């Protein structure tokens, strides 16, 4: 086996003595490592020394920066002090004059706060009842009427007619905005609204004496059974008489019903007129009235319907 001399590092076959330096290898005991060398070779000590060096360098940099800042502040204060010294003597030595004894301090006007009276909300019985009834007649598509029914409250419904209330403040404009195809049948009618005082609307015309009838057209009567700030009840009586398309017989219809709604809502009634063709010559006398709807092909084909819109004011 080969061995290395612990003193000179010579490599040789295993022997008692070193062939190079003559050291008795078997009895040789190395001298203990000095304490300083152990400390220097310790890894933890080396890391601690590096950390201390970094901290010392950081502190030195911070001190140098603080010293620079102090020098700049001192230089700025010297410049400001020199400016103050250069002020004119009159301006520097001018004393502040106290107010003369005769001068009286001005009194600040006191604004008197007036008490604010709390406003009282009007109760239901103090609200004014409506005084006027606005009535409009329209031709409107059935699809638009179905949409309106979904937005309002349906009061009654059958195969021939439907009644509903809508939360509209300006119904005559809103209805046409919702359905541009909506066609007015005459002007808006204004009537005084008073409980127990009927409102009679006459849309009839006389016919020739040989026709065997007094007149044709329709009469609509609205009877206010109740008028208050919270509730309006109207009775409706409608009588319809028109000659058929050949002119040899009558198409008739009668409606008798009543409706209750609040003054803040709008009452919408649809139907009441049959979807029939009438005598064309009779329509010439009903231009600008609800009867003019019978000249509409859409109404004859049940695409549109006759609508009465009622609003209170």
What mean pLDDT is predicted for residues 183-197? 91
What mean pLDDT is predicted for residues 43-67? 86
Confidence of residue 67 (pLDDT cuts 50, 70, 90): confident
- Model's pTM, two decimal places? 0.57
% of the chain at pLDDT higher than 70: 81
Reduce the secondary structure of the chain to three states and give it as a string.
Answer: CEEECCCCCCEEECCCECCCCCCECCCCCCCCCCHHHHHHHCHHHHHHHHHHHHHHHHHHHHHHHHHHHHHHHHHHHHHHHHHHHCCCHHHHHCCCCCCCCCCCCCCCCCCCCCCCCCCCCCCHHHCCCCCEEEEEEEEEEHHHHHHHHHHCEEEEECCCEEEEEECCCCHHHHHHHHCCCCEECCCCEEEECCCCCCEEEEEEEECCHHHCCCEEEEEEEEEEEEECCCCEEEEEEEEEEEEECCCCCEEEEEEEEEEEECCCCEEEEEECCCCCCECHHHHHHHCCCHHHHHHCHHHHCCCEEEEEEEEEC
Tell me the pLDDT tens digit for each residue of 226-259: 999 899 999 999 998 888 888 888 888 889 999 9
Report the chain's mean pLDDT, rounded to a whole number.
81
Tell me the pLDDT tens digit for each residue of 96-119: 555 555 555 555 555 555 555 555
């Amino acid at each position: 086996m080969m061995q290395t001399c612990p003193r000179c590092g010579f490599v040789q076959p295993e022997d008692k003595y070193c062939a190079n330096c003559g050291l008795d290898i078997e009895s040789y005991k190395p001298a203990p490592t000095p304490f300083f060398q152990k400390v220097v070779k310790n890894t933890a000590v080396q890391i601690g020394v590096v950390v201390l060096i970094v901290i010392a360098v950081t502190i030195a940099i911070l001190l140098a920066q603080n010293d620079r800042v102090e020098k700049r502040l001192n230089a700025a204060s010297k410049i400001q002090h020199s400016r103050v010294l250069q002020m004119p003597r009159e301006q520097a030595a001018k004393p502040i004059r106290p107010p003369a004894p005769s001068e009286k301090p001005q009194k600040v006007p006191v604004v008197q706060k007036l008490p604010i009276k709390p406003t009282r909300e009007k109760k239901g019985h103090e609200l004014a009842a409506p005084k006027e009834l606005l009535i409009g007649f329209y031709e409107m598509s059935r699809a638009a009427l179905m949409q309106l029914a979904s937005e309002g409250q349906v009061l009654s419904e059958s195969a021939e007619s439907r009644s509903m209330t809508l939360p509209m403040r300006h119904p005559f404009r809103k209805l046409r905005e919702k359905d541009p195809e909506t066609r007015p049948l005459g002007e808006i009618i204004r009537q005084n609204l008073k409980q127990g005082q009927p409102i009679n609307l006459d849309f009839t015309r006389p016919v020739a004496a040989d026709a065997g009838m007094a007149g044709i057209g329709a009469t609509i009567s609205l009877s206010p059974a109740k008028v208050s700030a919270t509730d309006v009840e109207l009775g409706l009586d409608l009588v319809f008489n028109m000659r058929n398309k050949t002119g040899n017989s009558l198409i008739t219809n009668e409606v008798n019903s009543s409706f209750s709604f609040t003054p803040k809502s709008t009452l919408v009634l649809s139907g009441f007129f049959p979807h029939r063709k009438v005598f064309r010559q009779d329509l010439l006398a009903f231009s600008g009235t609800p009867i003019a709807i019978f000249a509409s092909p859409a109404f004859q084909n049940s695409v549109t319907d006759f609508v009465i819109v009622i609003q209170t004011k």
